[in-house]
Amino acid sequence: MLVEFSIVPIGRAESMGDELARVLRLVDESGLPYRAGPMGTVVEGRWDEVMALVRRCHEEVLATSPRAITTIKIDDRPSKPMDRIEEKIRSVERRLGRELRK
Amino acid sequence: MLVEFSIVPIGRAESMGDELARVLRLVDESGLPYRAGPMGTVVEGRWDEVMALVRRCHEEVLATSPRAITTIKIDDRPSKPMDRIEEKIRSVERRLGRELRK
Amino acid sequence: MLVEFSIVPIGRAESMGDELARVLRLVDESGLPYRAGPMGTVVEGRWDEVMALVRRCHEEVLATSPRAITTIKIDDRPSKPMDRIEEKIRSVERRLGRELRK
Amino acid sequence: MLVEFSIVPIGRAESMGDELARVLRLVDESGLPYRAGPMGTVVEGRWDEVMALVRRCHEEVLATSPRAITTIKIDDRPSKPMDRIEEKIRSVERRLGRELRK
């Protein structure tokens, strides 16, 4: 399944750069395929492995913040093979290319 | 922590009433404090117990739909005692009452 | 359409009680049907009126915070008559009642 | 402000490829800076222009679906200059690079 998540530290400074760096490090170390974007990170994997990662990231942010709001969006389509993260990005680019040539 | 979640079955009919009924049944059977609203359900508990419940609900919907999009929002404030779900509702009502008397 | 929204002030204190009170006051003054819950507020109305309200609330929070993250979820089903907010709550309660009697 | 949005057509097929293509075309035609990702599209602009675009996309999906669920996340930090979409992507990449060299 594809999972997009983002974690907002509350009760800290306006900038979240440090928390973001620590979260991205955990995501990268997980070994799961991912794509970090301007508003969240998309990870691909099974429920157990993705949720364990999101939990580690959530707890990492709570290590330095008194409160955190974590948003998770799961897109699960069991009949589809893995590697959907790259396939979806290619699909978006392909459609965009075709639409724009019209 | 407080967790709001909702599950959207994809590739099925326009109405989601049956899926909703089965999800609410699982939520109720979990024994966790909850509040079902018009756009999602808020549950209170520890990460493990809430996430296990959300997963059961997600899989229940996937038993009859080829695809599901599940959205989860976690508000975690470890210094706060439990029973935040009722406290937050009371806080909202109290503030609303005070504001509206102004 | 039904719209759930929540606004998180960033770069401020851990508690958001004051911002919440000011937002709820604006929601109440709008005259639109609404239901304030523990994790967000659900409002019913046409796009223009609901989005104008969300914008006022968002700007109200930005009046005292350097940054705000606002989440909006729209459930739009044009064939349905208005008064869905109450209908959905009744539908949830009805299903819950029926499920639990099983 | 930065705005991520996604639109889920309900009551249609499991695949949303056609709706996605039509939405991306509208986004591209808007002239606003954007980044299309695997789970949503991030657009940058002022409230009026971004929300008018999201509304056009939402109505485009409703032209062929009986129901749509649209999710919008706004990250607004008025003190920051424009061009945050590229800046945030560069910031993510820079932090990722630095973290991974550690």
Question: Can you tell me the distance from the alpha carbon of B36 to that of A39, in angstroms, rounded to the nearest whole number?
Answer: 28
pTM for the model stands at: 0.91
Question: DSSP class of residue A97?
Answer: H
Question: DSSP class of residue C16?
Answer: -
Which residues in chain C have Cβ-Cβ distances shorter than 8 Å to D51?
51, 55
Question: DSSP class of residue C67?
Answer: E
Contact B51, B13 (CB under 8 A): no
Q: Where are the alpha helices (DSSP H) in chain A?
A: 17-30, 47-62, 84-101
Using a 10 angstrom Cβ sphere, with 0-12 exposed, 13-18 middle and 19 or more buried, the burial of residue C79 is: exposed
Cβ-based neighbours of A41, under 8 Å, separated by 6 or more: A4, A5, A6, A23, A24, A27, A34, A35
Q: What is the pLDDT of residues B49-73, one digit of tens each?
A: 999 999 999 999 999 999 999 999 9
Give me the numbers of helices (H) and strands (E) for chain C, helices first please: 3, 4
Contact B81, B70 (CB under 8 A): no
Chains that touch C (3 or more CB pairs under 8 A): A, B, D
Q: What is the pLDDT of residues D31-78, one digit of tens each?
A: 999 999 999 999 999 999 999 999 999 999 999 999 999 999 999 999
Phi/psi of residue C4, each to 5°? Answer: -100, 135
Best of C34, C83, C95 to mutate (most B CBs within 10 Å, chain B)? C95
Using a 10 angstrom Cβ sphere, with 0-12 exposed, 13-18 middle and 19 or more buried, the burial of residue C24 is: buried
Which residues in chain A have Cβ-Cβ distances shorter than 8 Å to B71?
71-74
Q: Can you tell me the ipTM of this complex?
A: 0.89
Nearest chain B residue (CA) to A77: B67
Beta-carbon separation of A10 and C10 below 8 A: yes
Please give the pLDDT value at position C27: 97
**Is the pLDDT confidence value at B38 over 60?**
yes
Residue D73, chain B, CB below 8 Å: the answer is: no
- Domains of chain A from N-terminus onward: 2-101 (3.30.70.930)
Please give the pLDDT value at position C93: 76
Residues linked to residue D42 through DSSP beta bridges, in sequence order: D4, D35
Going by their DSSP bridges, the two strands A2-10 and A67-76 should be labelled as antiparallel
Please give the pLDDT value at position A80: 84
Contact A44, A82 (CB under 8 A): yes
Nearest chain A residue (CA) to B59: A76
Please give the pLDDT value at position C61: 97
Residue range A10-31: mean pLDDT, rounded:
91
Please give the pLDDT value at position C83: 65
CA nearest to C37, candidates A72, B40, B53, B71: B40
Task: Indicate the range of A43-57, C26-40, C87-101 predicted with least confidence.
Answer: C87-101
Please give the pLDDT value at position B85: 81
Phi/psi of residue C6, each to 5°? Answer: -150, 150
Q: Locate C47 and state its tokens.
A: 């796009």
